[in-house]
Structure 1
Amino acid sequence: MNVKDFDFELPQELIAQDPLEDRSGSKLLILDKDTGKTEHRIFRDIVSYLNPGDCLVINNTKVIPARLYGVKEGTEAHIEILLLKRRENDIWETLVKPGKKAKPGTKIIFGDGLLTGEVIDVVEEGNRLIQFSYEGIFEEILDRLGQMPLPPYITHRLKDKNRYQTVYAKYDGSAAAPTAGLHFTPELLQTIREKGVHIAEVTLHVGLGTFRPVKVENVSEHHMHSEFYMIDEKAADTINAAKRAGGRIICVGTTSCRTLESAAKEDGTIEPTSGWTEIFIYPGYHFKILDALITNFHLPESTLLMLVSALAGREHVLAAYQEAIENKYRFFSFGDAMFITSENTKEGED
């Protein structure tokens, strides 16, 4: 399978630069994964497509303000750092720009000395291991000095940090938001619960690999970066009970999907677990537990587009994307949403 099979022409003006004022007011494209049939709605209409007994699986990771701007000690050269993965003893794996100024032994000053870092090693793909020194609590310093690590295709500055967080974000650790969840409001989630839909919370800390392009021609040769995930006993019990009772398992976002598919057994059950996953889902993959998916519109040739193509079929997905372009849907992190399901019957206009 060639990476070019997942290419499409996207007008630049359809890349959403800012979040909508109303989170749940975005467009929603309903795609029947079996027939390719589509419908056009508003996101809050998602309630009409959920049935009592279904289980909505959300990723409660929290994005940290992981982008830091500092100066190199001695030369005052400007250096930008993106925190990728926490190691032990205040050591982080980071992406540094420009990398040539960050050789081992280099010291970087942030916030007039509030935080300092020393490059201690170079790891895969040129990433740097940096050991940080500070007084106080690291998270509080990061909140003061750091900026949200918006994807490279978003050029506008974010006015409110919370708009790059889901309303249910709990656990610090992501370098990117699980963006399908950005459409939910507390009120919408309450309406969903009142309809009899179960909600299970899992955690997957999204890494920078979510933005990395596929650089190999043969899709199967692509290697995903590892990301930490966690499923607690309450979530596992909720998901298993819904599955046993005949409810659908509906993942909010590709991150929730990859979490469940990493942990699920062949019989479609889940046990409480945590660990690191490098799961790569592309056409030909057999889903063990997921029945339906709420997701945003993704980059051409991206692993995320490959995942949704595995669920709904590449032809159906690319045809739906073309329809979305014609209807001026907004793409990527702050863009509109798609619900991929096999049942377009509604129980009533809720």
Structure 2
Amino acid sequence: MEVSEFNFDLPEELIAQHPLEQRDSSRLMVLNKETGNIEHRIFKDILDYLNEGDTLVLNDTRVIPARLIGEKIESGGKIEFLLLKRISQDQWECLAKPGKKAKPGAEFTFGQGKLKAVVKEVLENGNRIIKFKYTGIFEQILDELGQMPLPPYIHESLEDKERYQTVYSKEKGSAAAPTAGLHFTKELLEKIQDKKINIVYVTLHVGLGTFRPVKVDKIEEHEMHSEYYIMSKETADIINDTKRKGKRIIAVGTTSCRTLETIGDECSKVKEQSGWTDIFIYPGYKFKIVDALITNFHLPESTLIMLVSALAGKENVLNAYHTAISKKYRFFSFGDAMFIK
């Protein structure tokens, strides 16, 4: 299957640069995956589409302020590190800009010496293994010195850092937000529970590979990035009980979806588990766990639009996207939502 089959023209003015004042006031497109029928609603109306006994699966990861800007100790030249993956207590795999300054042995300082770093190794993919030196607790220093790593298509600064976090974010470790969850408010989640719909959590720490373009012509040749996930026994038990009763599993976001489909077995069951996943879901994939999906509108030719197309059908999804463009929906991280039922 050709990557170009998932291309579409998106006017730049439809890329949302900031979140709406009220999280659940974004627009909601409801797509019937069987018929292709489309409805236009407001996100808080999601309540009308969730049934008693359904289970909503949320990703409770929390974005860390993973962008560090400092200078090279020897020359004073500016450096930017983006923390991608924790290797050990003091060592991280990082993206370095400009990379030519970050050669093995090079030393850097951040926040007038509160944090120092040395390049230990350059990996094949160009990322660096960085060892940090500091006094105190690393997470506190990072909270003080780090910046929120907003996606490359967002050019405006974010005044309130919490707007790039879900209201239920808890487990620190992501370089990007699971953005489908940004539409939920605590009040809306309470209303969902009052309707006797289960709410459970998984953790998948979102990596920057989420924004990495697909650089091959054929989908099958693309290699996915790897991300760390956790599912508790409590979550697994509720999901299995939901499936046994014939009710729906509704994934909030592609990250929750990928976690569920990584863990799910051929009998459509899950179990308590943690590990790394590089699952790549594209049309032809047979879903084992996920019945419905809440998601945002994704980039052309991205692995995310391929995943959505696997669930709802490529023709249905591309038609929905063209409709969204004609109706001026807001796209990407701070944009509007879609419910695939």
The answer, yes or no, to whether TM exceeds 0.5 is: yes
Q: Which residue is 2:284 aligned to?
A: 284
Q: Which residue is 1:146 aligned to?
A: 146
Matches within 5 A, 1:72-221: 72-221=72-221
Residue 21 (1) aligns with residue 54 (2): no
Matched residue pairs, number? 341
Letter of the aligned partner of 1:313 in structure 2? G
Q: Which runs of 5+ in 2 are unaligned?
A: none
1:21-64 Cα distance to aligned partner (Å, 9 max, x none): 00000000000011110000000000000000000000000000
Q: Which runs of 5+ in 1 are unaligned?
A: 342-350
Instruction: Report deviation, 1:120.
Output: 0.6
Residue 309 (1) aligns with residue 322 (2): no
CA contact (8 A) 1:53 1:246 kept: no
Distance 2:101 2:81 in 1: 12
Distance 1:242 1:320 in 2: 29
Letter of the aligned partner of 2:184 in structure 1? F
Distance 1:171 1:223 in 2: 26
Provide the secondary structure at the position in 1 that maps to 2:206.
coil
Instruction: Report deviation, 1:89.
Output: 3.9
Distance 2:5 2:124 in 1: 28
Letter of the aligned partner of 1:236 in structure 2? A
Q: Which residue is 2:270 aligned to?
A: 270
CA contact (8 A) 1:89 1:131 kept: no
Provide the secondary structure at the position in 2 that maps to 1:176.
coil
Once the two structures are aligned, what percentage of the paired residues are identical? 65
CA contact (8 A) 1:282 1:309 kept: yes
Provide the secondary structure at the position in 2 that maps to 1:295.
strand
> Structure 1 stretches (4+) deviating beyond 4 angstroms?
none
Distance 1:267 1:113 in 2: 55
| TM-score, normalization by structure 1 | 0.97
Distance 2:294 2:37 in 1: 16
Distance 2:50 2:124 in 1: 43
Q: Which residue is 2:58 aligned to?
A: 58
1:240-270 Cα distance to aligned partner (Å, 9 max, x none): 1111111100000000000000000111111
Distance 1:161 1:108 in 2: 26
Q: Which residue is 1:294 aligned to?
A: 294
Provide the secondary structure at the position in 2 that maps to 1:257.
helix
Instruction: Report deviation, 1:125.
Output: 1.5
| TM-score, normalization by structure 2 | 0.99
Provide the secondary structure at the position in 2 that maps to 1:112.
coil
Distance 2:108 2:314 in 1: 46
CA contact (8 A) 1:167 1:182 kept: yes
Instruction: Report deviation, 1:238.
Output: 1.0
Q: Which residue is 2:47 aligned to?
A: 47
